[in-house]
Amino acid sequence: MVKHLIHEKNYHTSTMQTDLWEIKIEGPIPHSQLKELKFHDDLQAFRPASKQFQALKEIADLEEGRIIVGVVNNTIVGYVTFLHPDPLERWSYFKMDDLLELGAIEIAPPYRGIKLGSELIRVAMMDKAMENYIIISTEYYWHWDLKNTQLSVWNYRKIMEKMMSVGGLKPAPTDDPEIISHPANCLMVRIGEHVANSSVEKFDRLRFLDRERYRTNK
């Protein structure tokens, strides 16, 4: 019988001080706390701001869901989410209870360039419960804000790698078709200290799932 993982969520916080703002970074925070905050109108990289805010509240309600936010004057100006991979993605194939995906990270344009993204990830990893998980982030260049930043895909990739490295995530090889469809795309991975060897082995199979399927069907 597989033991069900208890998804502990231990709140942590920090403060960033700039010449213009004091930014409170905190989380994981529940739906009840999220609804007391406002959501910056420019947080619309994935969908309109109001719908994205609703999506964050729904993630917060998930047993494993984690929302870390950066707040200025009661307004969320940046966030990062962690949850189980989407059921339609290959990363949910083995239904691993100890696999979390960094599903989204977004910073409102006025608050970029001050390493708020890195601080969100750092605060997320302050929770010792994160050592119970394999954390992944799938980086696709078509999700990057190349237009507004005027960066090349390679320079943007460097920024993403540096930001993710603050949380201990490192590039890892995979045969996932979407990731290998462009050389700038990458899979970032962090394996917690308390993750069982059996889960690490299963994740290694997951990273090269197409190769395993080929061998099975051969």
Quote the pLDDT of residue 13: 98
**Mean pLDDT in consecutive groups of 10 residues from the start of the chain, 218 residues:** 79 96 98 98 95 98 98 98 95 96 95 96 98 97 84 93 96 96 96 97 94 60
Q: Output the pLDDT for position 36.
A: 98
Q: Is residue 45 part of a domain?
A: yes
**Looking at the 3D structure of the chain, how many domains does it have?**
1
Say if 1 falls within a structural domain. Answer: no
Domain that holds residue 53: 12-217
Answer yes or no: is 3 within a domain. Answer: no
Is 5 a domain residue?
no
**Structural domain contains residue 80:** yes
Q: CA 18, 82, 147 angle in degrees (round to 5)?
A: 60
**Which pLDDT score, from 0 to 100, does residue 2 have?**
45
How far apart, in Å, are the Cα atoms of 21 and each of 100, 152, 155? 31, 29, 27
Question: Is residue 86 situated within a structural domain?
Answer: yes
Q: Residue 211: what pLDDT?
A: 73
Residue 153 pairs in a beta bridge with none
Of 78, 59, 63, nearest to 14 by C-alpha is 78
| CA atoms within 13 A of residue 25's CA, in its CB half-sphere | 21
Is residue 107 classed as helix, strand or coil in its secondary structure?
A: strand
Q: How far apart are the first and last CA of the chain?
A: 31
CATH number at residue 40: 3.40.630.30
Spell out the long-range contacts of 212-217 with Cβ–Cβ below 8 A and sequence spacing 24 or more.
none
d(CA 146, CA 34): 29
